[in-house]
């Protein structure tokens, strides 16, 4: 299949087999390896990206399904000069990561959450991030990071 879509504000075209998952297209064809493959069953959230402004688990979607869409990966959040997105900066500041494996998907899910619910409570944050698994942090610092990121994004 010949596909055209936008990734991180850049138009891309690619030829891939019809059964290619979005996560495969991002990692293997475009070499955007910040999107991680953790479970292949949409359970862990490590592969979360934004498609047309909404978070989506890319291991559960065919690349063909994003034809014409705007996809944002973790690599597309920082400014061109390297300045971190407020949510990325909050994760760094609050130590919302340890091994870093879940972090890209967690940041993308948090970004979607805070865009839709900028004043989410701690309980709402925890509920909304249930689809993203972290084995290291115990989530407390992740919740703090999401709260700080939301405040920074609101400024």
The pLDDT tens digits of the residues spanning 54-86 come to 999 999 999 999 999 999 999 999 999 999 999
Size of the chain, expressed as the number of residues it contains? 155
Positions of CATH 3.10.20.30 in the chain: 2-75
Q: Which residues pair with residue 4 across a beta bridge? A: 13
Residue 37: closest CA among 27, 29, 46, 48: 46
Q: Which fold has domain 2-75?
A: Ubiquitin-like (UB roll) (3.10.20)
Instruction: Extract the residue ranges of the chain whose pLDDT is less than 70.
Output: none
Positions of CATH 1.10.150.120 in the chain: 86-154
Residue 71: closest CA among 130, 27, 120: 27
pLDDT of 42 reads 87
pLDDT of 50 reads 98
**Looking at domain 86-154, does it have CATH number 1.10.150.120?**
yes
């Amino acid at each position: 299949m010949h596909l055209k879509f936008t990734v991180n504000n850049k138009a891309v075209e690619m030829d891939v087999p019809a059964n290619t998952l979005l996560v495969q297209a991002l990692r293997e064809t475009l070499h955007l390896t910040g999107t991680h493959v953790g479970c292949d069953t949409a359970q862990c959230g490590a592969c979360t990206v934004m498609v047309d402004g909404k978070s989506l688990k890319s291991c559960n979607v065919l690349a063909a399904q994003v034809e014409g869409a705007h996809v944002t990966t973790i690599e597309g959040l920082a400014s061109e000069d390297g300045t971190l997105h407020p949510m990325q900066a909050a994760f760094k500041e609050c130590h919302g990561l340890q091994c870093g494996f879940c972090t890209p998907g967690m940041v993308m899910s948090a970004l979607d959450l805070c865009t839709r619910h900028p004043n989410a409570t701690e309980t709402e944050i925890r509920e909304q991030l249930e689809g993203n698994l972290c084995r290291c942090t115990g989530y407390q610092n992740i919740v703090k990071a999401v709260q700080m990121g939301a405040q920074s994004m609101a400024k």
